[in-house]
Amino acid sequence: MPKKKPKPRKTPSQRRRHQGAPDRHAAPVAVPALLAELEEWARELDLFIEDSTWLVERAIDLKREQLGSPDPTAWTEQEIRHVLTEAFPRRVATSADDARLLVPAMTLFFSFLLSTGRFRSALSDAGLTALMEELAGEVPRALQDPARRSMGGNVLEYATELGVDVADPAQLAAFLERFNNLPYEERVAITDGTVFDEPGKHVWAWPATLGHEPDACALSTGPFDADAAAAWFARSPLWRRARALLGWVGESRQLTSTGALRRADTAEVVSLLGIEGNPSPTSMWKVGELVLLWVALVRLGYLEVGDKHVTPGEEALPEPDAAGISAAAASLHAAVLHAFLERGAEEYRATVPDLAVGALMRAAEPAGLTAVSPGLDTRPWGADELGTRFIASDLAKLASLGVVEREGDTYRLPEMLHPIVPAAVAMLDAG
């Protein structure tokens, strides 16, 4: 009697299609245990994305809350699209880093479910890959689109930009009281999400509480003594950090899937560069001083970022006693300032670039600029108070970058750095 021909083994996608549509009444899966297993699996394969697991957990919650689909392992194409492009923008306040990480985090989660045989979907492997590649471009735009956010979401995002801990009931209550006392036009700009949009949609006037308006004439154009300039730049904090970072990179350093340094390496670099704050940040993208320096060094050709490693670029920093140190160091400072002034939702960028440029002009005056951030309990809380808060925050960031000098609440722009302000602005205008 002839033997039966064995049936070919099904691929994972074929097995999923054979199962049919996901069972909406299946027994719930313990989400915390599933996410803990996801992290362990990703770390073993060196695929773990720092600060991303909460995004996956929130996506699972949104699918359950809005679509009545509680199984974290069951996903249809429509559910994936809705959660990532509709629910997230309207229900979750996200930073630019979060917007960049959401699709990679969900892709990693789906890969984990696939590899462990738990992904319940009618999507084929190729279909899932194509969908996530499409969403990689669409989701960040959706998360930054004010039209897709609710008015409440825009207000909370604005509060976050001000440094309010929206999870703290006292801080949130104080913020909402101040918000309700704002002029009508200010409230509309915030609820519509246009308060930080391109110039022309919402223009911030120089706060009267900070005295006279900035004047570009305060910026010295030189000429500067060559030896004095070289000596100043050689000991400038930003230049020394750049040399230390390039020396640490050496021939090569490994990067994560987001193009960042690994968590342990980030902590080591933060200590090496003398950056104050959290000594053990969860991600390089949380350390503004490091990110802006990194961006500048890449743009100037001193570093080259590949898929998995960072290596020295085609350019090399001149030695401290070299003739070209002043030009190279000035370009480095201008590139860092340019990156800081570029518009974006990241915490390390200028809150309102136009005000930040004005603050630098005032800081270039002999007396510098004294800016004290008003507290959340300050009354009244109008445009002047908001503008002052933004300026004080941005000047503090610039001081931590090494662009301005700080003494208490007074900030001064060193004369050697006066020319970098118009240079950075020109780079912004050039696009």
142 plus 173 within the same structural domain: no
| Number of C-beta neighbours around residue 184 at 10 A | 7
Q: For residue 206, tell me if it sits in a domain.
A: no
158 plus 234 within the same structural domain: no
273 plus 171 within the same structural domain: no
255 plus 280 within the same structural domain: yes
132 plus 189 within the same structural domain: no
Inter-CA distances, 71 with 65, 198, 208, 261, 315, Å: 11, 41, 56, 34, 52
- At residue 93, does pLDDT exceed 70? no
Inter-CA distances, 244 with 254, 270, 280, Å: 17, 11, 19
346 plus 225 within the same structural domain: yes
- Could you read off the pLDDT of 194-218 as tens digits, one per residue? 555 443 344 568 988 899 999 999 9
118 plus 166 within the same structural domain: no
314 plus 349 within the same structural domain: yes
Q: For residue 136, tell me if it sits in a domain.
A: yes
What b/e readout covers 23-62, taking b as 16+ CB neighbours within 10 angstroms?
A: eeeeeeeeeeebbeebeebbeeeeebbbbbbebbbbbbbb
Q: What's the average model confidence in pLDDT over 382-390?
A: 78
- Could you read off the pLDDT of 259-318 as tens digits, one per residue? 788 888 999 999 999 998 878 787 888 899 999 999 999 999 999 998 789 999 998 888
164 plus 242 within the same structural domain: no
Our measurement of the distance from residue 33's CA atom to the centroid of its chain's CA atoms, rounded to an integer in Å, reads: 29
Which pLDDT belongs to residue 233?
A: 92
Inter-CA distances, 23 with 20, 115, 179, 239, Å: 9, 20, 46, 60
Q: For residue 205, tell me if it sits in a domain.
A: no
68 plus 180 within the same structural domain: no
Give dist(CA 405, CA 416) in Å, integer: 12
pLDDT level of residue 345 (50, 70, 90 thresholds): low
Q: If you average pLDDT over every residue of the chain, what do you get?
A: 81
**Domain count along the chain:** 3
**Structure pTM?**
0.61
Domain assignment of residue 302, given as a range: 216-430
pLDDT level of residue 373 (50, 70, 90 thresholds): confident
Q: DSSP letters along 302-319, please?
A: SEEE-SSEEEE-S--PPP
β-strand partners of 305: 310
Which pLDDT belongs to residue 139?
A: 87
Nearest to 110 by CA among 70, 67, 66, 80: 80
Which pLDDT belongs to residue 353?
A: 87
